[in-house]
Amino acid sequence: MRQLAVAAVLASLLVACTDEVAPEEGTGSQSVVVDNRLAANRLAANRLAANRLAANRLAANRLAANRLELDPIGAGALLSTPEGIELMTFIVSCALPEGVTLVAEDPVTHDPLEFFGEVGLAPRWANHSLDKKGQRWVSACLFARVNANNVTVPISMRGPHRGLVTTPDERLNWPLEEGAFYGNYFRPITEPIVWIACRGRAQAAGENGGLADRDCTEPDPMNPGKTLCGFTFAGDCGDYTPPPSAHACRRLTPKGYYASCSDEAAFPRDHHMNNHDDDDDDGDGDHDDDDDHWQHGDRDRAAVYHQVITTFVQL
């Protein structure tokens, strides 16, 4: 198992980079089963400590024997609380692949802390800054693993990335489409988190199976425009709720996950979702989300995100 020191990796995670990054998407059918119990308020509460690393980069010469000499303003602040450690656990799990471990020192007890890779949505993060595309993949993974009920529910995460690998057994046993998650958690601290969810076909039909313990794609009747987890509610991911209506995602790929989703129900009801595959599925990696918008009604430029994770639960 490969071990990495946390300092340089943490610093690179939270700083956008303009370096060329090799395509990370694959052409196979993709998904991965994970557990989730990350609370949305913990994501919000820990943003300050996490993002301060952008202004307080920890130099490589401060590393010793794969341990991080923790700075109380930067990584030390994030790792000084159980909530911050939990958040870092999810960040590393989403970003790095299985077999990679990050090692740090607890700033209070000085005991070693280990963070294990799992999903691998930004595998080059270990040696490079996390670019915008990587930020949005890791963000989508974090958002998909939020659970307002603080319970562990196995979910199948699917999308156009080689870190999300499917099996026939998984597709069979996780058939209920909850919805899709996208946005960007790693924004400047002066700007709000962009966390967006749209409602999937099974969730729109009711509370079946594991959906009973998953609320983050459901609209909040007491807070219009938000989900029950506080995310921006983009409406239904597809056009499956009668009467025909606008939907949040440009397409449903042949592999069964949504792609190119907007922060609102921007795509018209006669848009043919099933006739296209995902733009990123061939691994060309040529999207710049800031420049990709959908001309929509009174709003000239609705933002469209390509790093989208669709979640499924068990019956």
Looking from the CA of 102 toward its CB, the CA atoms found within 13 Å total 29
Helix H or strand E segment including 85:
helix 82-95
CB 275 within 8 Å of CB 289: no
CB contact at 8 A, 101 and 2: yes
Q: How many beta carbons lie within 10 A of that of residue 42, not counting itself?
A: 18
Picking from 59, 105, 55, 63, the residue whose alpha carbon sits closest to that of residue 85 is: 105
Q: What whole-number distance in Å separates Cα of residue 207 and Cα of residue 300?
A: 35
Residues 99-152 have pLDDT tens digits of: 988 888 787 888 888 989 999 999 888 777 778 899 899 999 999 999 878 788
Task: Name the residue type at position 173.
Answer: N
Predicted local confidence at residue 313, as pLDDT = 93
Q: What is the pLDDT along the chain (315 residues), one digit of tens a residue?
A: 666 655 444 544 444 333 333 334 444 445 678 888 888 877 777 765 654 333 233 222 222 223 323 444 455 667 877 887 888 888 888 988 999 888 887 878 888 889 899 999 998 887 777 788 998 999 999 999 998 787 888 899 999 999 987 788 998 999 999 999 999 988 877 788 899 999 999 999 999 999 999 999 999 999 999 999 999 999 999 988 777 788 999 989 988 999 999 999 888 866 555 544 444 433 333 344 444 655 555 445 678 999 999 999 999
Cβ pair 21, 149 in contact under 8 A: no
**pLDDT in the model for residue 281:** 39
Q: How far is CA 131 from CA 14, 116, 166, 224, in A?
A: 9, 21, 26, 32
Cα 290–chain centre separation: 17
From the CB of residue 312, how many other CB atoms can be counted at a distance below 10 Å?
Answer: 26
How far apart are the C-alpha atoms of 183 and 195, rounded to whole Å? 5
Alpha-carbon gap, residue 312 to 175, rounded angstroms: 6
Q: How many CB atoms lie within 10 A of CB 141?
A: 32
Rounded distance between C-alpha atoms, residue 251 and residue 254, angstroms: 9
What is the per-residue pLDDT for 18?
31
Please report the pLDDT score of residue 300 as a whole number.
53
Q: 114 pairs with which residues across the strands?
A: 103
Cα separation of 202 and 226, whole Å? Answer: 19
